[in-house]
Amino acid sequence: MTYQRERLELADGDFIDLDWSSPDKEIPINAPKNRAILVFFHGLEGSSKSQYCMNTMRVVTESGWLGVVAHFRGCSGEPNRLPRSYHSGDSEHIEIVLREMRKRFPTERIFAVGVSLGGNALSKWCGEQAESAREVIDAAASVCSPLDLGITAVAILHFKNRIFNRYFMKSMGESFAQRMQQHPQLRDKGFLTTPRDFPQFDDHYTAPMHGYQGAWDYYYHASSRGMIPRIRVPFLLLNPANDPFVPAWLMPNESEVPDNVTLEQPEAGGHVGFVTAPFPGTLDWLPKRLVAFFESCPAAR
């Protein structure tokens, strides 16, 4: 995939980078007539270069739609300007991006997808907005959302997930080291350049920097599972039963969600894997499933 990058300046002095799938040389500011827009929110330490973003943007482009990856602060390859970063409950980020898309494309169909951390933030926003979300988007999908951040923070410490924990701690530590250089007031927490686990990092940085009392206060208030019954737009909640971070018993059942929420819980898929076909496999199942779901949703306008 090749992208066209746009920088969206924010009211607080920070910025968000948007990577558009448009093959045109100009950033698509005006409404693309008779085309749907798919807005993608990536996972923790992800970007438009993540395989799930690139594969989805490719399929979206082939379908004649317009796609855009909305980077969380500091994830586009350039540090954001403020000491704050992003987090799993960052529905403010979702609000800013989706309202901007509706402002630009007042008559087109807009779909939103969130993966992992992005899926939790998107689910939380949809629940917070309830009926008002219909004014902004036509449908949404959450893929491999952690649902309950506290349970996920503990699950990743399991022996079988040690490689994942090591990867995330290394990436988050490097990001904090870079942030510490920009903002000297963070240097008293220099131990977070080599964090031990999520509870340590979240207790000392994520929670206080984003207005929470501590890691477990953050996990409680930022988790999306309790917001799912409030969602009113057509919504796909896709959680594989073998996701190593989300125990199958944590996933909601049909009696816990409204009729507009489609629960899809395949036996396999891992954490945003969904590898199909013989070895070495392909990664096009997820983007095709997302496009098929959105095509099945009735037009809201």
- Percent residues over pLDDT 70 in the chain: 95
Using the predicted structure, report yes or no on whether residue 175 has a pLDDT greater than 80.
Answer: yes
Count how many Cα atoms sit within 13 Å of the Cα of residue 226 in the half-sphere of its side chain. Answer: 8
According to DSSP, the β-strands at 37-41 and 110-115 are: parallel
Query: Which residue, 199, 222, 245, sits at the end of a domain?
Result: 222
Handedness of CA 219, 224, 226, 230 (dihedral sign): positive
d(CA 6, CA 112): 18
| Residues paired with residue 68 on neighbouring β-strands, in sequence order | 20, 39
* For range 94-105, the mean pLDDT: 96
Predicted pLDDT at 283: 93
Domain count, the chain: 2
Q: Do 186 and 90 belong to one domain? A: no
| Residues paired with residue 114 on neighbouring β-strands, in sequence order | 41, 142
Residue 59's CATH number: 3.40.50.1820
Task: Report the SS3 class of residue 279.
Answer: coil
Flag the least confident range among 31-45, 80-94, 248-262: 31-45
d(CA 167, CA 276): 24
Predicted pLDDT at 116: 97
Strands (E), 29-187: 37-41, 66-70, 110-115, 139-143
Predicted pLDDT at 298: 83
Query: Which residue, 202, 222, 242, sits at the end of a domain?
Result: 222
Mean residue pLDDT across the chain: 94
| Bond from prior residue into 280 cis (ω within 30 degrees of 0) | yes
Residue 28 — pLDDT band, cuts 50, 70, 90? low
Q: Do 103 and 126 belong to one domain? A: yes
List the catalytic residues.
116, 243, 271
Q: Do 217 and 242 belong to one domain? A: no
Using the predicted structure, report yes or no on whether residue 30 has a pLDDT greater than 80.
Answer: no
Using the predicted structure, report yes or no on whether residue 23 has a pLDDT greater than 80.
Answer: no
Residue 32 is assigned to a structural domain of this protein: yes
Residue 192 is assigned to a structural domain of this protein: yes
Q: Do 132 and 157 belong to one domain? A: no
Q: Do 125 and 266 belong to one domain? A: yes
Residue 35 — pLDDT band, cuts 50, 70, 90? confident
Chain centroid to CA 94: how far? 9
From first CA to last CA, the distance across the chain in angstroms is 30
Q: Do 28 and 170 belong to one domain? A: no
d(CA 129, CA 119): 15
d(CA 41, CA 92): 13
Count how many Cα atoms sit within 13 Å of the Cα of residue 27 in the half-sphere of its side chain. Answer: 12
Q: Do 188 and 255 belong to one domain? A: no
Q: Do 134 and 176 belong to one domain? A: no
| Helix 51-62 × helix 285-296 angle, to 10° | 50
Task: Report the SS3 class of residue 12.
Answer: coil
Q: Do 242 and 275 belong to one domain? A: yes
In this structure, are residues 271 and 156 in contact, taking their beta carbons and an 8 Å threshold?
no
In this structure, are residues 243 and 237 in contact, taking their beta carbons and an 8 Å threshold?
no
Query: Which domain range does residue 67 map to?
Result: 4-148+224-296
Q: How many CB atoms lie within 10 A of CB 133?
A: 23
Residue 301 is assigned to a structural domain of this protein: no
What is the per-residue pLDDT across 128-152, written as a single tens digit (0 to 9) for each?
Answer: 999 999 999 999 999 999 999 999 9
Question: Residue 101: enclosing H or E segment and its boundaries?
Answer: helix 91-104
Using the predicted structure, report yes or no on whether residue 33 has a pLDDT greater than 80.
Answer: no
Q: Do 185 and 238 belong to one domain? A: no
Quick one: which of 95, 98, 96, 109 has its CA closest to 66?
109
Q: Do 18 and 76 belong to one domain? A: yes
* For range 2-6, the mean pLDDT: 92
Count how many Cα atoms sit within 13 Å of the Cα of residue 137 in the half-sphere of its side chain. Answer: 30
What is the gyration radius of the CA atoms in the chain, in angstroms?
18
Residue 67 is assigned to a structural domain of this protein: yes
d(CA 230, CA 236): 14
Predicted pLDDT at 180: 95
Predicted pLDDT at 32: 57
Q: Do 59 and 208 belong to one domain? A: no
Q: Burial, 96: exposed, middle or buried (Cβ in 10 Å; 0-12, 13-18, 19+)?
A: middle
